[in-house]
Structure 1
Amino acid sequence: MPVRGAWGWLALLACVLWAGGVWGVQRIALEIGEIRHPVATMGGLQLRFEADGTLLLRARSARFAGREWSAPTLRCASARLDVQGFRCDEGRLELDGKVLPLRFAVEAAFERGDVRVVARLGDGLIEAALDRTGATSVLFSGVELEALLAVAAPFAGALPVQLKGLNPVAKLNGAVAWGPARRRLTMNAQLEEGGFASADGLLAAEALAFAVHLDATEQGSGWSWSVGARWVAGAAYVHPLYLESGPALEARGTLHAGRLRVHEAVLAVDGVERVRAESAFVLDPPGLERLEFSLQGIDLDRAGKRWLAPLLFPAQVDRLRFSGRADVRLEMRAGVVEGLTLQLDEAVLGLRGAAGGEGVGLGPLVGGGSWSRTQPTEMRVAVGGGYWEKLALGAFSIEAHLAPEHASFARMEIPLLDGALVIDEFGLKRGPGHWEGRASVVIEPVSMRALTAALDLPEMSGVLSASLPGVRANPGEIALDGALVVSVFDGYLQATGLRLLEPFGVASHLSADIEVRHLDLHQLTETFSFGNITGFIDADVRGLELARWRPVAFDARIASSPGEYRRRISQRAVENISALGGAGALAALQRGLIGFFESFGYRELGLRCVLRDGVCAMDGVEGVQRSDGGFAIVRGGGVPALDVIGYNRRVDWNELVDRLQRVIDENVSPELH
């Protein structure tokens, strides 16, 4: 028969035990069908009281705070039950066959109808009180998180694998109270000496301290609640972010019909004037139903370094530069982004050069726009200018039509010295898991003299123009459809198969095939103070590969262009070409005779380098065979004629680059053999 008056039954039991003691009974056993309380319900209750004062209380099942257990068991090493009340000392609790790692004392007063529990958990203390109305309070001090999680596991279910792997530690202090009259639950808690660490080092924290306040009121079948939380001390690394104490959160909402709604959440965080959110979560199964999130007054200098750089470009954090302000708004439904709004105010974005140079940058940026998953929108940003190393860009604007799955940009003409960089047919579309971009790029004629001066290069004459008919970009890759054509030195350079991986990463990799035709040697050698050579050359570089912007493989050949033109080479150019050939290079005239002539005729030039594993396999003019194993770099022709012969067919690439640099920078005169 169900027993609803729990205190009455316990009082009756006390009388039975008292009578048993008077009559000399050694053991008393009692069974109760059911005990109900506003907080807990137990069914199939069995009690056994031994003459030595030990007590065993076991239920077939129990329900507490909406959770059920089978065969919960209470054991008391020392117990007392009489008409005044019940007391248990050195108690242990067993749930679902596991003994919880805590020891406690329980005292119940029948006349007052209250229960008090004092539990020791490691070095911590938990004190709980329950009266006949159901009012409950819990105080905890110095409770270690690790021990608390072990005790709470049967109540909250198994801990997530990720949490177990972090080995969290902390000490908890605080109070929880439930008032049945107003159906109100309050909690004030402090976490101190907190920390965690993952085995891979990507998650770590130490000296954490938090303060949390919860106030919840039951309303019908749901709850109305408010929460305040403050990060008081400590720091954490949650890859790729480094987080420090200071943020504070205030939130309010409701819990009803399996849905947790956040009507308003306001977060105070360094670098942002206001962070506000509204959201709704489904609890079973867990999932995000709706989220509206806004950041107002973002200080890009402060927030950019701390939040944006690690999230967007984790490999370039130290090189990124931000300034100005921004506002951002995000809307999500069922875990899917529905809308995004961005507004910029005098924003400047920059990436410092890898070797400490100027790098690239844009700004100030003013304007913005919105993207929606359901309807077309517009965006407009005025760009005050920019730079690429020491090359300045003029003002221009970015205008775009944004659709749910693609974006198309208006033609952009970016002033560049006395010419312009024109970006046309620029569009973005959503690919599988990422966005992809396409554009055509043209460099309208720019004075080489002005360009080389701006880039601190040797002064060059003529103009530079280029055309990239189809550029494709997706995360981590930039590729070229068709050919990149650059006009320079009265000839042209054409690159095909151009592909750049991780362009801004530490593992950047470029591959391409390059064809150069009809470069004017007079302009080229004059520009680099190499001496003077008249004529034209062609070049082919096949299988070019650059890793971190340094050549690692190619097959390069330089040869005189076909056709009739004046072919002369100065004494200084001969000496420099011989220097590139190293100690094995030989001019086919004696040193003393070279001094009598300022220039020589030549029939053709030729040089080949096949780079593999840091070594250049050298060869010269194609089709010329020599019995002594050498190779012709310059074949003489006319009067006086001169041959330059190389004998070292394997040259360290870095050494070859050093020789060329010395020739250009110092114009050293080599020793000829």
Structure 2
Amino acid sequence: MLRLLMGLSLPMLWAVALSAWPGQGEARTLNARIARVATAVARLEQVQVRLAWPDGAAAGELELRAARVVAPELGYRFQDVAWRCPLRRDGRGGWRCDGELRGQGGAPLRLALELGPASTDARLSRGASAIALQRAAATPDLTRIDLTQVPLAWTQALAAQAWSAGRIKSGALDGRLDIAAPARAPLRIGGDLRVAGAGFDTPDGLIAGEKLGAALRVDSELGALTRVRLGGRLLDGEMLFGNAYIALHGKPVELDVQAESAPGQGWRLPRIVWRDAGALNASGSAALRGDASIDALDLQLDSPDLAPLRERYLSGFLGLAGLAKLELSGGLDAQLSLRGGDLSQARAQLREVRLRDEQGRFRFDGLDGSLAYSDAAPRESELSWRSGALYGLEFGATRLPFSSDNGEFRLQRAISFPMLGGRVGADNLRLRPPAGGKGLDLRFGLNLDKLDVAQLSKALDWPAFTGELSGRIPQAHYADERLELDGGLAMQLFGGTVEVSSLAMERPFGVAPTLSSDLALRDIDLESLTGVFGFGSITGRLYGRIEQLRLVDWQPTAFDAELHTEKTHGVRQRISQRAVQDLSSVGDSSFVGSLQDKLIGFFDDFGYSRLGIACKLADEVCLMGGLGAAKAGPDGRPGFTIVGGAGVPHLDVVGYNHRVDWPTLLERMEAVGKGDVKPVVK
């Protein structure tokens, strides 16, 4: 823009110099010092003019210098500006001069001026980039500027007047601008521009654009109140505004934006129109703070088809939530209002919306109805779905009546829907969207009534468990990507009970979801349990605990487990030869008997008095234990008893490896389940 300012200002200096020039044929040198030269656009300070034309020469030399060039309304300030050129008459009563223009800290440019009786023309260039200026004497307040491959970086200071944090990185401008600079009215700039390869960002990286192309019409008024109207089409490129990522993918979008701002204030946008045919239409108004963040926003949205929105508008938000591949379909109308940067009012009307997570974590079909939110007066709405699934667990239709006021959603009554042969219910749901620097906060109660564990096992690819799952979670609380559940669940499995407590989840739908809980096992029928896992037969009743269980992406990474049998009246305690071998394989154990080892092979099973095993998992290593200490092995390693024998033959199973690699242990358990471990009698 130094180039543009000089194009607007130097003709005045040139006119001052030439007005004192002697007639043809006289040899003379003219030097002038001017304290200040003012135009409608810029002022020049401490100006020096030197004109020299040797007697009889075909051309003279013109040199202009200015200590400072300032355009306060455009935001430009330059120092030590100098232009030197050979001066010639054009034969039509005018003058021509073409030479190098330099300014402090900038690369030189070429400035060519033609000053005639009826017009002034200037051309500033560097390589293929050029700014051409035309001004007619009949309309001295009007200047026309033609732009050819002008680097957008030249407009940095002008852009900073509207957006101080913005940094222009790349791009070029082509087009034509008309500048009207009347003496007693604001400066006006208008014209058609074409932008190619534009890039910008902010120091914090929260706002950015890359490879932007646009065909725009600009109308602006620069004065005590700056007004700008920008219309046309965005042709291509990518933009980031906080978490909102917009990717046009070569599909043009029509826009029309009106904006105005007073010095030292942010921007008001009384008109915003965005038309993305077949995907999203938006209209409304906004107010921006000085850092371009949103202070107020009123917006109406219409999407006849949600499918394109993921790639074009929602990938930033969905990626943060771990839903980058969420599939969307259906239609949506919405209105929203923000005040002070926080959501104030909102309403969304859904039309046969379908949400499907590509990773199979959830699915909703036939979402219909409305959702209304208010931070003040009450508003009511109702949403429904036809069917859905959560981690492969199918559930049925329901309706959710909501009310909202004071910045909170509430479920008006308890709901329930069919799932896994039983019912799932929710109540006391309260949701607060992000506001006041706090993130989303969700609370609800949960009821599970007689869910079929067999269906659950099949859906989660578990062994063929059977039984029922029931329980009550008085309050579940989701905040800061963590879900905590009070209360507990109880599963009736294998004739006994598995109680789950201290449930919590981190990033339930994000990357690497984490689950933690404590489990208590009571009165489990070992014969049924070992049969399901393909383990050798063991009879008896099992008790124990699995505390501080932690699953990352549904794989165990830590727990402290202890399982043992307890004598129960009328229940035999027997362990098969196959089970002994499987225990020895999994736990890297040995068994010893009171008879000669060769006689043990004649027995199919053995009586036992106690059975117990413990494992504390950390850093992919299981610290093993059992019922208690056992005598050292042949190599002197201390042992721990896993099975304490009873009767004849008397057989004990003793473990000697206190540290077992967890991946290796899993491989052994998988081999046992497949029957790949063959009985071997020692």
TM over 0.5: yes
What is the aligned partner in structure 1 of residue 281 from structure 2? 274
Secondary structure of 1:434's counterpart equals coil
**For residue 92 of structure 1, what is the amino acid of its counterpart?**
L
- Using a 3 Å threshold, how does the CA distance of structure 1 residues 540 and 22 change in structure 2: closer, same or farther? same
Secondary structure of 1:422's counterpart equals strand
What is the aligned partner in structure 1 of residue 382 from structure 2? 380
Q: Tell me, yes or no, if the aligned pair for 1:214 and 1:225 is still in contact at 8 Å.
A: yes
**For residue 188 of structure 1, what is the amino acid of its counterpart?**
D
- Using a 3 Å threshold, how does the CA distance of structure 1 residues 307 and 644 change in structure 2: closer, same or farther? same
Residue of structure 2 aligned with 1:509, choices 505, 511, 514: 514
Does the alignment pair 1:244 with 2:245? no
What is the aligned partner in structure 1 of residue 300 from structure 2? 294
- Using a 3 Å threshold, how does the CA distance of structure 1 residues 373 and 72 change in structure 2: closer, same or farther? farther
Does the alignment pair 1:186 with 2:190? yes
The correspondence of residues 93-492 of structure 1 with structure 2, limited to 5 A, is: 94=103, 101-109=108-116, 111-112=117-118, 114-132=119-137, 133=139, 134-146=141-153, 148-149=154-155, 153=157, 163=167, 168-178=169-179, 185-194=189-198, 208-215=212-219, 226-233=229-236, 242-253=247-258, 255=260, 261-269=268-276, 272-281=279-288, 288=294, 290-314=296-320, 316-317=322-323, 319-353=325-359, 358-409=360-411, 410-429=413-432, 433-492=438-497
1:211, distance to aligned residue in structure 2 (A): 1.6
Identify the range of structure 1 (198-207 vs 371-380) with the bigger mean alpha-carbon deviation.
Answer: 198-207
Structure 2, unmatched stretches of 5+, are: 1-9, 54-59
1:384, distance to aligned residue in structure 2 (A): 1.1
Does the alignment pair 1:54 with 2:62? yes
Q: Tell me, yes or no, if the aligned pair for 1:400 and 1:408 is still in contact at 8 Å.
A: yes
Residues 246-294 of structure 1 deviation map (CA, whole Å, 9 limit, x = unaligned)? 2323315364756855444332336524222323457x78665542222
Q: For the residues of structure 1 that align with 2:511 and 2:591, how far apart are their CA atoms? A: 38
The correspondence of residues 582-601 of structure 1 with structure 2, limited to 5 A, is: 582=588, 584-585=590-591, 593-594=599-600, 596-601=602-607
Residues 583-623 of structure 1 deviation map (CA, whole Å, 9 limit, x = unaligned)? 64556666764554444322111111222332222222136
Identify the range of structure 1 (528-537 vs 133-142) with the bigger mean alpha-carbon deviation.
Answer: 528-537
Q: For the residues of structure 1 that align with 2:589 and 2:204, how far apart are their CA atoms? A: 53
1:120, distance to aligned residue in structure 2 (A): 0.9
1:245, distance to aligned residue in structure 2 (A): 2.2
**For residue 177 of structure 1, what is the amino acid of its counterpart?**
D
**For residue 61 of structure 2, what is the amino acid of its counterpart?**
G
**For residue 580 of structure 1, what is the amino acid of its counterpart?**
V
Residues 448-507 of structure 1 deviation map (CA, whole Å, 9 limit, x = unaligned)? 344445555443343222333332211321223354444433333334443322233334
Q: For the residues of structure 2 that align with 1:241 and 1:141, how far apart are their CA atoms? A: 28
- Using a 3 Å threshold, how does the CA distance of structure 1 residues 225 and 652 change in structure 2: closer, same or farther? closer
Q: Tell me, yes or no, if the aligned pair for 1:305 and 1:322 is still in contact at 8 Å.
A: no
**For residue 234 of structure 2, what is the amino acid of its counterpart?**
W
TM-score of the aligned structures, taking structure 2 as reference length: 0.82
The correspondence of residues 12-31 of structure 1 with structure 2, limited to 5 A, is: 14=18, 16-18=20-22, 24-29=27-32, 31=34
Paired-residue identity, %: 28
User: How many residues are matched?
Assistant: 650
Q: For the residues of structure 2 that align with 1:124 and 1:56, how far apart are their CA atoms? A: 23
What is the aligned partner in structure 1 of residue 614 from structure 2? 608
Identify the range of structure 1 (467-476 vs 198-207) with the bigger mean alpha-carbon deviation.
Answer: 198-207
The correspondence of residues 495-644 of structure 1 with structure 2, limited to 5 A, is: 495-561=500-566, 563-566=568-571, 567-582=573-588, 584-585=590-591, 593-594=599-600, 596-622=602-628, 629-638=638-647, 641-644=650-653
Q: Tell me, yes or no, if the aligned pair for 1:305 and 1:317 is still in contact at 8 Å.
A: no
Residues 289-332 of structure 1 deviation map (CA, whole Å, 9 limit, x = unaligned)? 54222221252222135433441334735542322222232212
Q: For the residues of structure 1 that align with 2:43 and 2:584, how far apart are their CA atoms? A: 99
**For residue 493 of structure 1, what is the amino acid of its counterpart?**
V
Secondary structure of 2:446's counterpart equals strand
Secondary structure of 1:524's counterpart equals helix
What is the aligned partner in structure 2 of residue 3 from structure 1? none
- Using a 3 Å threshold, how does the CA distance of structure 1 residues 625 and 514 change in structure 2: closer, same or farther? farther
Identify the range of structure 1 (514-523 vs 258-267) with the bigger mean alpha-carbon deviation.
Answer: 258-267
1:393, distance to aligned residue in structure 2 (A): 0.8
Q: Tell me, yes or no, if the aligned pair for 1:441 and 1:468 is still in contact at 8 Å.
A: yes
Q: For the residues of structure 2 that align with 1:66 and 1:577, how far apart are their CA atoms? A: 83
Residues 494-540 of structure 1 deviation map (CA, whole Å, 9 limit, x = unaligned)? 34443322233334333333322222223322333334332211112
Secondary structure of 2:586's counterpart equals helix
Secondary structure of 2:313's counterpart equals helix
TM-score of the aligned structures, taking structure 1 as reference length: 0.83
**For residue 49 of structure 1, what is the amino acid of its counterpart?**
L
Residues 397-421 of structure 1 deviation map (CA, whole Å, 9 limit, x = unaligned)? 2222222333322322121133111
Q: Tell me, yes or no, if the aligned pair for 1:138 and 1:177 is still in contact at 8 Å.
A: yes
- Using a 3 Å threshold, how does the CA distance of structure 1 residues 671 and 184 change in structure 2: closer, same or farther? same
Residues 643-667 of structure 1 deviation map (CA, whole Å, 9 limit, x = unaligned)? 3233333322112212222222336
Give the superposed CA RMSD: 4.1
Identify the range of structure 1 (555-564 vs 341-350) with the bigger mean alpha-carbon deviation.
Answer: 555-564
**For residue 416 of structure 2, what is the amino acid of its counterpart?**
E
- Using a 3 Å threshold, how does the CA distance of structure 1 residues 403 and 486 change in structure 2: closer, same or farther? farther
